[in-house]
Amino acid sequence: MISFLFFKKKIDIMMSGSKFHHTYVNNLQILYFEAHCRIQGPIYGCAGIIFKLYEQINSAEIALAYIDIQTQTACHKLQAESNFDVLPAQSSITAKFQWKRPYFKDADWSR
């Protein structure tokens, strides 16, 4: 079945590079999975599954970004509401930061 879906030369090249038992078994599992995917989706094989996973990851990232923005917005609203009562009166703030011109008292600005 696997040799029907793949070229025999490709299988020989992939399996000849397996010097150790665990890489040989891993390569067999990869070939089996690809063959199984090609039977289910003969046009795309594994690429179709990878593309579907990519789309799911992309939509999950977009949803997560949207939730993050909503969380930040809610946090800023709560922070603004809680700081509203804590701020001192407007007149006391402006009294502290009035701009004074001590060096230019006698300057003539009409020129």
Check pLDDT > 70 for residue 1: no
pLDDT of residue 81: 80
Q: What is the pLDDT of residues 72-106, one digit of tens each?
A: 999 988 888 877 654 455 555 555 555 555 555 55
Read off φ and ψ for residue 100, nearest 5 degrees: -115, 145
What's the rounded Cα separation, in Å, for the pair 107 and 38? 88
Q: Where are the beta strands (DSSP E) in 1-111?
A: none
Question: pLDDT-based confidence at 18, cuts 50/70/90?
Answer: low
Check pLDDT > 60 for residue 51: yes
What's the rounded Cα separation, in Å, for the pair 69 and 66? 5
Inter-residue contact 74 to 67 (CB < 8 Å): no
CA distances from 84 to 3, 58, 90 (A): 73, 39, 12
**What share of residues in the chain are helix, strand, coil (percent, to 5)?**
70, 0, 30
